[in-house]
Chain A
């Protein structure tokens, strides 16, 4: 009878120098999955490898295969087994299912709720599926993992709130403009944070990113990265009216954008909103701009507060998500146990049915001629008796613990009692 095992390490159990040794490049994922499946005693296999975790997931009839998998991981990392073992976690049965549900939902990630991990889990299992290394039980686990991950994200909205300053800026831009497609962005300066924010906005399909910098060469270089255009630094004022989002992150010790600039820009824009993000210290945008109707000004502290508040919100949602995962694991475990018990239950029913039919035949012969009603009553009596006898053994098999060894022990006992082979 098959059981699930997972051997792996992640950002909490292993430092980056250990993780990077085990990390599997995308191009080698298929080859590694095949190698895991080829190990003695492994019936089904999948490998999950991200920058924060590497996990070997297997189904097997023999739990001793753990040793082989650990050896295999150590040889992949070109390290001693003892050295690697310090960082490994080994999960069995229901814990594997729970772990996968949590991982795919982003609950085990460094940034709780991050959405990329869902896609990475999917990729690991799809690769295994295409290679034919997934057996029935792993296939079921994969399908359920996808469902649970989707449910957690939909029901709790765990990944909806940005937890970094650049993403918080994007989230606020969406709260103001809705879709960002077709908007124009002006990036002032070439600070790291500003560049990153512009990059996130660029990913949202904004129409164009204009870059203004004291060094026009640097502005041109940055603009090329965003398929945008460089603007002369002394022409910022004119450009303000054309842009919907302004990101300031220069090292200038004074305000580059003042109230009269924004007033003028809003008049030209016919009061269409203007979102100003001031990431510079000292600030590049006069704080009085925030009082102008139609202008929304956020500085680095404001955005950090948004990110911090979102972090708290994610923790709260993570608690709701954990409850969903616990319920799903319980239900999935019950389903697996019930499925696992089906062959024994069928055998048990067939065995008792054959006894019933044989004994009924003998009894009817002894009783002699009977009316159809009498014959039906005797048959009904024997069927009901067999059903009553079977009731509790079947119930026990269906509701057995999800611990495979205990389940196997119960099954053996029942088989022995009823004389099944």
Chain B
């Protein structure tokens, strides 16, 4: 039995699926071992995922961000890398309830949609285009983390105000940590995303003599940019506690997903 390089994708998916399941189960069975098992599985998945990203780069000879499967796989990789860094710094378990399913979802999209080793259109071989893809992908990953921690801050604030512990009480770090991480992730993610979009507009102008086409991914990306901008402003004003902010986060998340799915078209 031989092990094909593409198998690493499925190993990563299996580990992520089991890790997500273990993390979600810990909502009902509050055992630290279950959370730890989930984290170990996710790290194993991340290792396989890293190999998979390497395989894409080696096979195609370009960064893994030029089509939907590549971009989704790379975004999932960045999101988990950031989550892992935050776990090491703050020991935040609760983010796993949002981040693990998100990573699993993105990698699943990568596995089931489109050609995994598509050759790159020569027209797309440009530094500006690569910068556009890289920056928007990393920016979106940061924004996703920001939204996840914003939700944690919202849940924690409600629990403290209503003096009721939910299932996540023990897993969520302090309100200050949630707020600080969400602010920073949103601010950094938004800045990178903005530069990425500008690079895309520049590339579009150079190649098509227009600022941009108005297709699904472009509309999704711009709507997401506006919503994340408003969201960041609300966080700076301390409005993360309001229900409207949560709705806005959901809207921004949907717009990003639409933009990602739009890459396939």
Residues of A participating in the B interface, judged by any CB pair closer than 8 Å: 154-155, 157, 160, 172, 174-178, 271, 273, 290, 293-294, 296, 298, 302, 305-306, 309
Contacts A/B (CB < 8 Å), 8 sampled: A175-B160, A175-B175, A176-B175, A177-B174, A177-B175, A177-B176, A305-B163, A309-B165
B174/A155 in contact, CB under 8 A: no
Q: Looking at the assembled complex, report how far the CB atom of A333 sits from the nearest CB atom of chain B, in whole angstroms.
A: 24
B173/A178 in contact, CB under 8 A: yes
Q: Looking at the assembled complex, report how far the CB atom of B26 sits from the nearest CB atom of chain A, in whole angstroms.
A: 12
Chain B, residues 26-45, CB within 8 Å of chain A (1/0): the string is: 00000111000000000000
Residue of A nearest to B179 (CB): A273
Question: How far apart sit A172 and B175, CA to CA, in the bound complex (Å)?
Answer: 10
- Residues of A near B31 (CB, < 8 A) are 155
Residues A296 and B238 in contact in the complex (CB < 8 Å), given A174-B174, A175-B174, A178-B177: no
Given A157-B170, A178-B173, A178-B176, list of 15 further CB < 8 A pairs?
A: A154-B32, A157-B32, A175-B160, A175-B175, A176-B175, A178-B174, A271-B238, A273-B176, A293-B238, A296-B161, A298-B163, A302-B163, A305-B163, A306-B163, A309-B165
Residues of B participating in the A interface, judged by any CB pair closer than 8 Å: 31-33, 156, 160-161, 163, 165, 170, 173-177, 238, 241
Question: How far apart sit A296 and B175, CA to CA, in the bound complex (Å)?
Answer: 11
- Residues of B near A309 (CB, < 8 A) are 165
Q: Looking at the assembled complex, report how far the CB atom of B122 sits from the nearest CB atom of chain A, in whole angstroms.
A: 52
B33/A290 in contact, CB under 8 A: no
- Residues of A near B174 (CB, < 8 A) are 174-178
Q: Is the interface of A mostly helix, strand, loop or mixed?
A: helix
Q: Looking at the assembled complex, report how far the CB atom of A380 sits from the nearest CB atom of chain B, in whole angstroms.
A: 39
Question: How far apart sit A258 and B170, CA to CA, in the bound complex (Å)?
Answer: 32
- Residues of A near B170 (CB, < 8 A) are 157, 160
Most buried by B among A172, A175, A177, A305: A175
Residue of B nearest to A174 (CB): B174
Q: Looking at the assembled complex, report how far the CB atom of B32 sits from the nearest CB atom of chain A, in whole angstroms.
A: 6
Question: How far apart sit A290 and B160, CA to CA, in the bound complex (Å)?
Answer: 10
Question: How far apart sit A271 and B161, CA to CA, in the bound complex (Å)?
Answer: 15
Question: How far apart sit A28 and B173, CA to CA, in the bound complex (Å)?
Answer: 44
Contact of B175 among A157, A273, A305, A306 (CB under 8 A): A273
Residues A176 and B241 in contact in the complex (CB < 8 Å), given A155-B32, A273-B175, A273-B176: no
Question: How far apart sit A174 and B174, CA to CA, in the bound complex (Å)?
Answer: 6
Question: How far apart sit A273 and B180, CA to CA, in the bound complex (Å)?
Answer: 13
Contact of A176 among B32, B160, B165, B238 (CB under 8 A): B160
Question: How far apart sit A293 and B156, CA to CA, in the bound complex (Å)?
Answer: 13
Question: How far apart sit A298 and B161, CA to CA, in the bound complex (Å)?
Answer: 9
Question: How far apart sit A302 and B32, CA to CA, in the bound complex (Å)?
Answer: 27
- Residues of B near A296 (CB, < 8 A) are 160-161
- Residues of A near B161 (CB, < 8 A) are 290, 296
Residue of B nearest to A320 (CB): B31
In order of increasing CB-CB distance, the 3 nearest A-B pairs are A178-B174, A271-B238, A178-B176
Contact of A175 among B32, B156, B238, B241 (CB under 8 A): B156
Contact of A172 among B32, B33, B160, B238 (CB under 8 A): B160
Question: How far apart sit A296 and B156, CA to CA, in the bound complex (Å)?
Answer: 12
Residue of A nearest to B160 (CB): A296
Question: How far apart sit A164 and B77, CA to CA, in the bound complex (Å)?
Answer: 44
Q: Looking at the assembled complex, report how far the CB atom of B165 sits from the nearest CB atom of chain A, in whole angstroms.
A: 7
Residue of B nearest to A175 (CB): B174
Residue of A nearest to B242 (CB): A293
Residue of B nearest to A296 (CB): B160
B33/A155 in contact, CB under 8 A: yes
Q: Looking at the assembled complex, report how far the CB atom of B94 sits from the nearest CB atom of chain A, in whole angstroms.
A: 12
Q: Looking at the assembled complex, report how far the CB atom of B247 sits from the nearest CB atom of chain A, in whole angstroms.
A: 17
Q: Looking at the assembled complex, report how far the CB atom of B180 sits from the nearest CB atom of chain A, in whole angstroms.
A: 9
B32/A294 in contact, CB under 8 A: no
Q: Looking at the assembled complex, report how far the CB atom of B214 sits from the nearest CB atom of chain A, in whole angstroms.
A: 39
Most buried by A among B33, B173, B174, B177: B174
Question: How far apart sit A297 and B64, CA to CA, in the bound complex (Å)?
Answer: 50
Residue of A nearest to B180 (CB): A178
- Residues of A near B241 (CB, < 8 A) are 293
- Residues of B near A155 (CB, < 8 A) are 31-33
Residue of A nearest to B31 (CB): A155
- Residues of A near B173 (CB, < 8 A) are 178
- Residues of B near A177 (CB, < 8 A) are 174-176
- Residues of B near A306 (CB, < 8 A) are 163
- Residues of B near A157 (CB, < 8 A) are 32, 170
Q: Looking at the assembled complex, report how far the CB atom of A154 sits from the nearest CB atom of chain B, in whole angstroms.
A: 7
Q: Looking at the assembled complex, report how far the CB atom of B166 sits from the nearest CB atom of chain A, in whole angstroms.
A: 13
Q: Looking at the assembled complex, report how far the CB atom of B171 sits from the nearest CB atom of chain A, in whole angstroms.
A: 11
- Residues of B near A271 (CB, < 8 A) are 238
Residue of A nearest to B241 (CB): A293
Question: How far apart sit A293 and B173, CA to CA, in the bound complex (Å)?
Answer: 19
Q: Looking at the assembled complex, report how far the CB atom of B187 sits from the nearest CB atom of chain A, in whole angstroms.
A: 16
- Residues of B near A178 (CB, < 8 A) are 173-174, 176-177
Residue of B nearest to A292 (CB): B161
Question: How far apart sit A296 and B170, CA to CA, in the bound complex (Å)?
Answer: 18
- Residues of B near A290 (CB, < 8 A) are 161
- Residues of B near A154 (CB, < 8 A) are 32
- Residues of B near A273 (CB, < 8 A) are 175-176
Q: Looking at the assembled complex, report how far the CB atom of B175 sits from the nearest CB atom of chain A, in whole angstroms.
A: 5
Q: Looking at the assembled complex, report how far the CB atom of B156 sits from the nearest CB atom of chain A, in whole angstroms.
A: 7
Question: How far apart sit A328 and B38, CA to CA, in the bound complex (Å)?
Answer: 25
- Residues of A near B177 (CB, < 8 A) are 178
Question: How far apart sit A271 and B176, CA to CA, in the bound complex (Å)?
Answer: 12
- Residues of B near A298 (CB, < 8 A) are 163
- Residues of B near A305 (CB, < 8 A) are 163
Most buried by A among B31, B160, B165: B160
Residue of A nearest to B238 (CB): A271
